[in-house]
Amino acid sequence: MHEMSLVEGIVQLVEEAARADGCARVKAVWLEIGQLAAVETEALRFCFDAVARDTIADGARLEIIGIPGQGWCMKCEAAVAIAALYEACPVCGGYQIQVTGGDTMRVKELEVE
């Protein structure tokens, strides 16, 4: 389960940012997760609660913002929405799609005290 290592990195990043700003506690964390990022959000939520325990983010609410997948079809030269890697272009049916968005994860915002 790679979600555990992802959450460990997220919590470390959150702790560093909160401490650098002199915050006592993190109340909420907003994550943007792309549809193509290969992250299981429910596993991420479970891991977040476990990893954040006894940290500055203990009890913090995890808000997940889904980002749709986007691609560029090299065959028909169209920007297209894609729900999964290696699927056919919804315009021409070709399989030469280069991912242009929705494949990343980032901490977007923190709510702190």
Least Cα distance to 7 among 60, 49, 61 occurs for: 49
| Domain segments of the chain as ranges | 2-112
Return the HEC string of 28-87. EEEEEEECCCCCCHHHHHHHHHHHHCCCCCCCCEEEEEEECEEEEECCCCEEEEECCCCC
Give the pLDDT confidence score for residue 2 in this predicted structure.
86
Q: Is the pLDDT of residue 1 over 60?
A: no
Q: What is the 8-class DSSP label of residue 99? A: E
Q: How many Å is the Cα radius of gyration of the chain? A: 17
The pLDDT tens digits of the residues spanning 53-105 come to: 999 999 999 999 999 999 999 999 999 999 999 999 999 999 999 999 999 99
Choosing among 3.30.360.10, 3.40.50.300, 3.30.930.10, 3.30.2320.80, the CATH entry for 2-112 is: 3.30.2320.80
The model's pTM: 0.85
